[in-house]
Structure 1
């Protein structure tokens, strides 16, 4: 959410909206939000979250990247699913900022390369969470993800 920085007046796409947490927070920040997911249960969870927090957003059910073709041009996009193909289709639309994740280094490199080729400045962070059993303070679960963010350089203003 911080990397995308949605604000009033932005059109946000949340692709692979899942629980709706990001979509709801973006709407709470004043952005117009299109929450996209192919899973009907994810769409229902997103709708329930929006009602719970009293925000309006539009849910679009369908599979990316095909469902994106007829959507209005976004300002910022979170890609929560679909991998490199979806990120590439989003980058073709030229939103100012894109955030995506990858489960492997190879996938992260592919997404990062594609964003760079589309003219984005790319940053990547490796995020890790470790679950601990507090009775013995031993590790019981580890989750690793690469978080990529791409931003287009500021547009030159005409003098």
Structure 2
């Protein structure tokens, strides 16, 4: 969830900026939410775990950025939130993806750890009217002393851009 390479790829595809409302669903430690807020976007960070919301608030204070946290389980907790421009989905799978496509944000990113899950999310995005980009991101941590492999992370990244011609 907190892989910096994945976060950078998500931010690059979402492009949060001043005037955007970002939903970060499954905010965990708040790293993504804080980065999005640093770009000047308004951020609503959602997590089922109140401790994750507290960590996200603490991270925002450390970095001097405003954001709002909402404890609760998606998709139900999303119903009363204002309309998003861009959405990052880190938890909840297809039901959350579908709830988000129904709200018609410009861009959505989600990720998956298995190909089957990635295909299901990609299909949900496409069915919701989004042009889908699918990537397999692999990061390999290396020991700087002997360049041996420390750890390897593989994740599927799904990025949806609304394809109805709206700006």
| 2: CA distance, partners of 1:90 / 1:124 | 18
1:27 to 33, 37, 47: 37
SS of 1:129's equivalent in the other structure is strand
- Unaligned runs of 5+ residues in structure 2 are 1-10
Aligned with 2:79 (options 69, 76, 81): 69
Bigger mean CA deviation after superposition, 23-32 or 56-65: 23-32
2:166 to 147, 155, 158: 155
Alpha-carbon distance between aligned partners in 2 of 1:119 and 1:142, rounded to the nearest angstrom? 34
Specify which of 95, 98, 102 is matched with residue 105 of structure 2.
95
CA distance in 1, matches of 2:144, 2:15: 35
Within 2, Cα distance between the matches of 1:121 and 1:100? 13
TM-score (norm 2): 0.87
How far off is 1:42 after superposition?
Answer: 1.1
Compare CA radii of gyration and give the structure with the larger one. 1
Using the TM superposition, give the Cα deviation of residue 131 of structure 1 relative to its aligned residue in structure 2, in angstroms: 3.3
Task: Give the counterpart of 1:49 among 56, 59, 62.
Answer: 59
Q: Which residue of 2 aligns with 1:108?
A: 118
Residue 11 of structure 1: aligned partner: 21
* Residue aligned with 1:3, SS: helix
Normalized per residue, the structure richer in helix is: 2
Question: In the aligned structure 1, how far is the partner of 2:146 from the partner of 2:63?
Answer: 38
- 1:80-106 superposed Cα distances (whole Å, 9 cap, x missing partner): 111111111111111110000000000
Q: CA deviation at 1:141?
A: 2.9
CA–CA separation in structure 2 for the residues paired with 1:32 and 1:137: 40
Structure 1 CA distance for aligned equivalents of residues 166 and 139 of structure 2: 37
Quote the Cα distance in structure 2 between the aligned partners of 1:131 and 1:140. 5
Partner residue of 2:127 out of 92, 99, 117: 117
SS at match of 2:91: coil
TM-score normalised per structure 1: 0.91
Q: Which runs of 5+ in 1 are unaligned?
A: none
Cα RMSD between the aligned structures? 1.5
Instruction: Output the CA distance in 1 between the equivalents of 2:13 and 2:134.
Output: 11
| Offset at residue 2 of structure 1 (A) | 1.0
